[in-house]
Amino acid sequence: MVTRRIAAGLVAAVLAGSGLVVTGAAAPAAAVAVLERPRCKYRIKHVKTRLNVRAAPHGRIVDKLYPGDVTWGSCKSFGGWRRVRGTEVGRRGFSFTRYLKKIGRR
C-alpha cells in the first residue's frame, strides 16, 4: 500500500514537471462502467460441503465457497449462473444460482 502511494507521488511529480496536466473529469469509459455496475451480496445456501466457483458456466473450477459464506457478485443471471468471487483464493467466476441467496445490493 505504501509503495503504491510513493509510486503515485512520483508519477504525479514527473507529470507536473513535464507540463502535462491530467484532470479527473476525463475518465476512461471502462472505468466508469465498472463503478456503475450494480453488485449484489449473496449468502451460500443448500450446500453441505462446498460450492465450486468456475471460470465459465460448466467450466473448470477456479475457487470454492463454503456453507454460510458471504460473497459479492453480479446481479445479472447468465442462464442460471451468477458471477461471484470465491472465498478460498479470491478469484472471480461463476456459481449456480440455486445455491446463492441474495441478501443485499450495492
Least confident of 7-11, 14-18, 50-54: 14-18
Rounded Cα distance between 63 and 44, Å, is 14
State the amino acid at position 3 in one-letter form: T
pLDDT value, residue 25: 47
Confidence class of residue 11 from pLDDT cuts 50, 70 and 90?
A: low
With beta carbons less than 8 A apart as the criterion, state whether 79 and 73 touch.
no
Q: Residues 57-85: pLDDT tens digits?
A: 999 999 999 998 999 998 888 899 999 99
Any residues with CB less than 8 A from the CB of 7 and at least 6 apart, and which? none
Q: What is the pLDDT of the chain when averaged over all its residues?
A: 78
Going by C-alpha positions, the residue among 95, 3, 2 that lies closest to residue 40 is: 95
Please give the helix or strand (H or E) that residue 62 lies within, else none: strand 61-65
The torsion angles phi and psi of 62, rounded to 5 degrees, stand at -115, -20
* Burial classification of residue 11, based on how many CB atoms lie within 10 Å of its CB (0-12 exposed, 13-18 middle, 19 or more buried): exposed
By DSSP bridging, strand 70-77 and strand 92-96 are unpaired
Q: Which CATH class is domain 2-105?
A: mainly beta
pLDDT value, residue 33: 46
Least confident of 8-12, 13-17, 59-63: 13-17
Least confident of 5-9, 23-27, 33-37, 77-81: 23-27
